[in-house]
């Protein structure tokens, strides 16, 4: 697999080094280099790019601002971002805009290659079918700057927190926090095993402990069944009554 990528940095020396690293990496193809975030954004509208090596502090359009604009692109059409910066206080912002990695200047080729390989692995993962048919046993979720494999049978329930999801697992006191919407997770999980019972909750049907008219008891907590989901829950229960 070859990744088409661009380099963006307003410092000429840093941009030149970045381009040389890209050109000596067999699975990367340099499609352009830019000293301005605005020029890079224009190029992104004109060609298909898989990966952006992106400086954060730039005068016209910062790397964080540019990365936020990419969120408007649907699904896998969005280029992935690896930030390059001389400052170490942008990790949280990078995580929020779904960056794959974060290279702290000055970095060497070994560090660059490690980040590039992460992008390659991530892209290969996305190129396969990620929705989980009933016979699949796990899904991959982005947790911080890595993909984590989660066994479907271990999921008890999932709580939605805006753009994040908190996945509660069997025998794991600490849930997994992933940058993914509840709607996206609902599409990945097999429908016969999971049900949305509230705008903020998906539950494992196999892990239900008890059900009342308005609540589901699962994993030691009671979850309210939202009005729009009550008919589906009633239909599910009718199969067992």
Domains and CATH numbers, the chain: 3-127 (3.40.50.2300), 138-238 (2.40.50.1020)
Q: Are 229 and 196 in contact (CB under 8 A)?
A: yes
Give 11's contacts (C-beta < 8 A, 6+ positions apart). 55
Q: What pLDDT does 90 receive?
A: 54
Kindly state the DSSP code that residue 162 receives in the 8-state scheme: T
Q: What is the pLDDT tens value at each position of the chain, 241 positions in all?
A: 899 999 999 999 999 999 999 999 999 999 999 999 999 998 888 889 999 999 988 888 888 888 888 865 544 567 889 999 887 665 545 555 677 888 889 999 999 999 999 888 888 776 654 444 444 688 888 887 778 889 999 999 999 988 889 999 998 778 999 988 898 888 888 888 899 999 999 999 989 999 988 999 998 899 999 999 988 888 777 766 4
Q: Are 166 and 176 in contact (CB under 8 A)?
A: yes
C-alpha span between 180 and 165 (Å, rounded) = 6
Q: What pLDDT does 127 receive?
A: 65
85 beta partners: 104
Is residue 131 classed exposed, middle or buried when 0-12, 13-18 and 19+ CB atoms within 10 A define those classes?
exposed
Q: What pLDDT does 136 receive?
A: 62
């Amino acid at each position: 697999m070859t990744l088409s990528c661009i380099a963006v940095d307003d410092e000429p020396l840093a941009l030149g080094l970045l381009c040389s690293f890209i050109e000596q990496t067999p699975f990367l193809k340099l499609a352009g280099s830019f000293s301005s975030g605005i020029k890079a954004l224009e190029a992104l509208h004109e060609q298909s790019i898989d990966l952006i090596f992106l400086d954060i502090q730039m005068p016209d359009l910062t790397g964080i601002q540019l990365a936020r604009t990419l969120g408007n692109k649907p699904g896998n059409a969005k280029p992935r971002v690896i930030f390059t910066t001389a400052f170490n206080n942008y990790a949280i912002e990078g995580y929020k805009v779904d960056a794959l990695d974060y290279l702290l200047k000055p970095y060497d080729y070994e560090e660059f290659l490690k980040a590039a390989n992460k992008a390659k692995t991530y892209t290969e993962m996305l190129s396969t079918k990620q929705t989980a048919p009933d016979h699949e046993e796990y899904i991959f979720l982005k947790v911080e700057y890595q993909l984590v494999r989660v066994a479907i049978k271990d999921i008890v329930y999932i709580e939605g927190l805006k753009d994040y999801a908190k996945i509660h697992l069997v025998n794991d006191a600490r849930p997994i926090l992933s940058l993914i919407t509840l709607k996206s997770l609902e599409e990945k999980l097999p429908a016969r095993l999971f049900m949305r019972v509230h705008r903020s909750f998906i539950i494992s049907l196999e892990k239900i402990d008890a059900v009342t008219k308005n609540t589901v008891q699962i994993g030691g907590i009671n979850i309210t069944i939202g009005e729009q989901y009550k008919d589906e829950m009633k239909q599910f229960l009718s199969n067992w009554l």
